[in-house]
Structure formats: structure tokens, C-alpha cells
Amino acid sequence: MSITRRHILGSAGIAALGAATFAGGPPSGTPAASNVPWASTVTTPQDFGAVADGVADDTSAIQQAIDAQGTRDNKIVYFPPGTYRITQTLTVPDGTGPTGNFSRLVLAGAGTMGSRTSIIQVDFDGTALHIAAPLSALYGLCFVVAAGLKNSLGVLTARDPGIGEATNTDDVDTTITECTFVEFYTAVKHVGRGMVFTNNLVATGDFGLDISWPEEGVAGSGVHLLPYGMRKWLIEGNHFHSMGTAIRTTGPHAASFRGAIIANNILDIGRRLFAGGVINSTFAGNVVENASGDRWST
């Protein structure tokens, strides 16, 4: 199925959820899922004891909320406004396995690009969130970490070889939209093919979006394999502020990055918009303002 149809439809559904949070979402004093009109379709970290005050450790509560989605038809974890402090990596398990089916899970907050309402405060030097399930989505969340941590990674989207039904580690297809990432050494690292990365703010870090190919576990044939495997990218409307490199492809197969639309992004203070290899792709309407190095390199 084409990236245009699947991801635009998926993004529209997530956007509708976001609109619902503004129109009828819970006020700060009533954050539990039982207090919102769509309670039957979502889970919140508060259902498992999250405090969201920026002081309490909400790691376990958030992980339990994620784990509970394995047996649900509508896999939505909603983060009411607040600051959720975490002290270790949150994990979305890969595909289907003994704990259930986590494909197409949505983690949604009440924020928009640049607004900090549903905040994940990362209180350690490591990966905040590892999404291993395919076709997952993030919407309206803000990830923040202390400055200068060289191992800090906001979101890793990468499947686990040999886990559950994950026979093709290239089959990822993640959507990240209307999110904010602040101070991460790398904001998002995506391993595999297919991504919608739109209308995000990525600020004051070294690397914004890092894309690479799996080193193992690609068991398919034909279009799953390089060079056509590393395809399907919509990277549009993002604001990269005070970044070293906004978008890059890495690893030994970086030159196989293809089928990308990289459009209408802005790099406002930084070094370069794009670094790495690219083929059969479109760059249009991007703006680089006050860059200290090459605007792009390939």
C-alpha cells in the first residue's frame, strides 16, 4: 500500500484525536480516562498511578499503560496535560507475541508543534522511548532532556530481529507529528523504511532525524531489499532550531535512501539541513536561515 494513502489516513485519524482533546479533553484536575467522553477507547498513565507533576517517577505507570494495549482493539494511550518524569527507557513491544499485538499503537498528548502541554521529562542519559512495533504513531507529545547528554535519544523506532512475528525488520512505517523534542543529542532515530515526520519542532540538539537500514532481520524479498527497501518518506513542515544537522542518513547503506519528499522544512540557526545520501527524491520549499556550515551535503 502506498505511503500516501496509508499514512495520510492514519495521520488524519490521529489529528482527529488531537482535536478531541482540545474540544472536550479533561481539565488538569480530572485527568483519568474515566472522565473523558472517549474513555472506552483510550488508556491513560493515570489509570496506573501516574502523577504527572514532574517530580514523581511515572516510568512504571506509563509502561503499564503501554503494555495494556496488547489485548485492545483500539490501541491509544492518551497523556493528559502534565509533566511525566521517566527514569528509564519506555518500550513498545514488537508486533505480535506472547503479550499481545502492539502494531498500530498510538501515543497521543494534548500538545501541538512547539506547545508543551503533555511533557515527557527524561531524567537520564539514554533512549526515552523505543518503538519496536510497526505502524505506530506519536502525536502531540513533548520530549525534554537536560542539555549536553551525549547518549540522549528521544525516540528510537526499530524492530527487534526474531521477536514475535517480526520477520522483516525493515517493515516499520512510523508516524510522528505535532511533537516537540528539546536538547536531545539525537531527537529521533529510525531504522527501517517508511516514515511520516511532519509538523514537529526539534530544538537545540546535535541531530534531528537520523535514518538508517537494519543490520539484520530483513527476511523478505523484492521490494523489502535494498536498494528499494529504504523508501517512503514524508518529511515536511518541521522546524529545526539550533541544530547541528536536521536530517541525515547513516550507516553503510545511507546512499540507498530514496522515495523521499523533504519539503517546507525550516532550519533556523544550525549547521546543515541534510547530510548523507539520497536518490529519486524531492527537495522543495525548504529554508535554511543563519546556517554556520554547508546547507546540505551528500
Instruction: Tell me what pLDDT residue 217 has.
Output: 87
pLDDT digits (tens, 9 = 90+) for 46-68: 999 999 999 999 999 999 999 99
Q: How far apart are CA 206 and CA 297, in angstroms?
A: 16
pLDDT at position 110 over 60? yes
Give the global pTM: 0.86
Q: How far apart are CA 248 and CA 189, in angstroms?
A: 10
Note the Cα 26 to chain centre separation in Å: 24
120-129, 186-195, 220-229: least confidently modelled range = 220-229
Q: Which domains does the chain have, with CATH numbers?
A: 3-24+33-297 (2.160.20)
Residues 6+ apart with CB under 8 A from 146: 123, 152, 183
Dihedral (CA of 116, 120, 126, 131) sign? negative
pLDDT at position 5 over 90? no
pLDDT digits (tens, 9 = 90+) for 73-105: 899 999 999 999 999 999 999 987 777 899 999
